[in-house]
A and B are shown apart, each in its own frame.
Chain A
Amino acid sequence: EMQLVESGGGVVQPGGSLRLSCAASGFAGSGFTFDNYAMYWVRQAPGEGLEWVSLISGNGDTTYYADSVKGRFTVSRDNYKNSHYLQMNSLRTEDTGLYYCVKSYSRGWFLGDAFDLWGQGTMVTVSS
């Protein structure tokens, strides 16, 4: 069974940094290859709705970011480790939330694809 597991969340002061990780498992057993799929980060502030954060293509060559994090967050992936990362710098209180790692539905990548596999999330709290 395919699974995404996030880690790296925690409490950090404004202006600080955190690096989130997402480990994918069960892809080979399900007939999927990790590097065939775009990966995303989506966040949810406490009691609020979903907010897309970033996209990275299967080979890592293409990335997109929400305007709210552009220039502060950097997404990357290591296909040999079936892993996906989010480096978050210059954190603000409004970055507080549950960060989900998400897989694209389709092979290849394109904007507007469905998100068909979600992790359980890792909590980030930015507070002084």
Chain B
Amino acid sequence: SYDLTQPLSVSVALGQTARITCGGDNIGNRAVHWYQQKPGQAPVLVIYRNSNRPSGIPGRFSGSNSGNTATLTISGAQAGDEADYYCHTWDSTTEVFGTGTKVSVL
């Protein structure tokens, strides 16, 4: 099976930059997507195909993917960005989610 590893938690000061990593074997060769999930809500797509933002997603969200690590960056984090974040890719015949990262904005 293909495993995607994320840090359990990331803390960021208000207005600063948060980086959330997603580690996987040669993940740079795969398209990676990112979802934000706030408590009691369904996940929302914030980045697709490594670095593309769906309409309505603020420009402070960006993504990159190379080697064994994909990264979601939140530049100028806001209080409303506090949430769980999940990366997603695929392997063989399955879709795979990362373990999830809780982002706290201090």
Contact = CB atoms under 8 A, between A and B. Distances in A.
B69 interface: no
A114 interface: yes
Interface string B67-106: 0000000000000000010101110011111111000000
B95 A119 contact: no
B24 interface: no
A67 B91 CA distance: 13
Interface string A114-126: 1110111100000
B94 A64 contact: yes
Contacts of A49: 84, 86, 97-100
B43 interface: yes
Nearest to B101: A49
A51 interface: yes
A55 B42 contact: no
B61 interface: no
Contacts of A40: 95
Nearest to B42: A118
A111 interface: yes
Interface string A20-58: 000000000000000000001010000001111001000
How many chain B residues sit at the interface, stated as a range, is 20 to 34
A2 interface: no
Given A49-B100, A52-B95, A112 B31 contact: yes
Contacts of B97: 42, 49-52
B42 A115 contact: no
A18 to B, nearest CB: 20
A112 B93 CA distance: 9
Given A49-B97, A50-B97, A55-B95, A112 B30 contact: yes
Contacts of B94: 52, 64, 66-67, 111
Nearest to B34: A114
A114 B43 contact: no
Interface of B: 30-31, 33, 35, 37, 42-45, 48-49, 54, 84, 86, 88-90, 93-100
Interface of A: 40, 42, 49-52, 55, 64, 66-67, 100, 105, 111-112, 114-116, 118-121
